Amino acid sequence: MSAQIIDGKAFAAALRGRIALQVASFRDAAARAPGLAVVLVGEDPASAVYVRNKGKATLAAGMASFEYRLPADAEQADVLALVQTLNADPAVDGILVQLPLPPQIDERVVLMAIDPDKDVDGFHPVNAGRLATGLYGFVPCTPLGCVMLLKEQLGDLAGLEAVIIGRSNIVGKPLAQLLIGENCTVTVAHSKTRDLSTIVKRADIVVAAVGRAAMIRGEWIKPGATVIDVGINRTEDGLVGDVDFNGAASVAGAITPVPGGVGPMTIACLLRNTLVSAYRRAGLKLDMATL
């Protein structure tokens, strides 16, 4: 193995520490803590664990955590009414509705009901439009974490060729916009892409976000490339990413592990977005360079 392992867990811990310092400054200035509200509908086990971890991280950073649980048979109107209440609550700076939602609820309708200036998940179309046009808005947490790890590893990304495998609204599309903003040359590949291996082979940066275990083979990777594996797939051998880790690590310059790579960055960036929202809503200046 020749690749440097990108330690997302350590980077996320350091970021959470910097966030906690800014939270303390905010509490002194605003006489309250930044507040994150999380809505969980139903009892999906993976979602419940994720919500619990978010709550712990929120409190550890000195923020206020508001958790709302609705039954699996809740009506869409109930969820929308709760979202409107949270939109109007001055103690709440960020609203996150945990996905997936039960089938009787239209996710798009619920996400569009969230105040874009409290949409710390960055999924609202207004924030997607802001990102696409270079305006300030909230960016989805996983792509934001990917770019942070890339810049920590590589410094200036300008001129590098990036290939993103996956075109979801949550990862692929916003990550493409972020990397264009960093002056990368970006290709978004997907299930209909022809000759995927050749496209991946030319990339200085490879980001895999397709949800298929070990789909990206080691021989596809350009020697010295940086590989960011967003995938988390449960297999008989445990959790694995979308990249054949051992094969890729033998040729890549740097690679994220699964687990311990991108995953920890998602919650850290959620806290970052909530902190930014709190400062903006209070009319206070936050030194973004500290984050």
Helix then strand then coil, in percent of the chain rounded to 5, is 45, 15, 40
Contact assessment for residue 111 and residue 97, using Cβ atoms and an 8 Å cutoff: yes
Active site (annotated) includes residue 84? no
Active site (annotated) includes residue 4? no
Topology of domain 30-115, CATH: Rossmann fold (3.40.50)
pLDDT tens-digit series, residues 191-227: 899 999 999 999 999 999 999 999 999 999 999 999 9
Fold agreement (30-115, 141-263): yes
**What's the pLDDT score for residue 283?**
97
Q: Please identify which of the residues 22, 93, 118, 121 carries the catalytic annotation.
A: 121
Length of the chain (residues):
291
State the average pLDDT for the chain: 96
- pTM for this structure? 0.95
pLDDT tens-digit series, residues 91-124: 999 999 999 999 999 999 999 999 999 999 999 9
Domain ranges of the chain: 30-115, 141-263
The C-alpha atoms of residue 223 and residue 131 are separated, in whole angstroms, by 32
Active site (annotated) includes residue 121? yes
Contact assessment for residue 39 and residue 114, using Cβ atoms and an 8 Å cutoff: no
Q: Please identify which of the residues 22, 54, 222, 244 carries the catalytic annotation.
A: 54
pLDDT tens-digit series, residues 167-186: 999 999 999 999 999 999 99
Q: How far is CA 281 from the centre of its chain?
A: 22
Cis peptide before 100 (omega within 30 of 0): yes
Average pLDDT for residues 64-89, to the nearest whole number? 97
Stretch among 2-11, 67-76, 231-240 having the lowest mean pLDDT: 231-240
CATH homologous superfamily for the domain 141-263 = NAD(P)-binding Rossmann-like Domain (3.40.50.720)
Indicate whether 1 pLDDT > 70.
no
Q: Please identify which of the residues 22, 98, 119, 153 carries the catalytic annotation.
A: 98
Indicate whether 253 pLDDT > 90.
yes
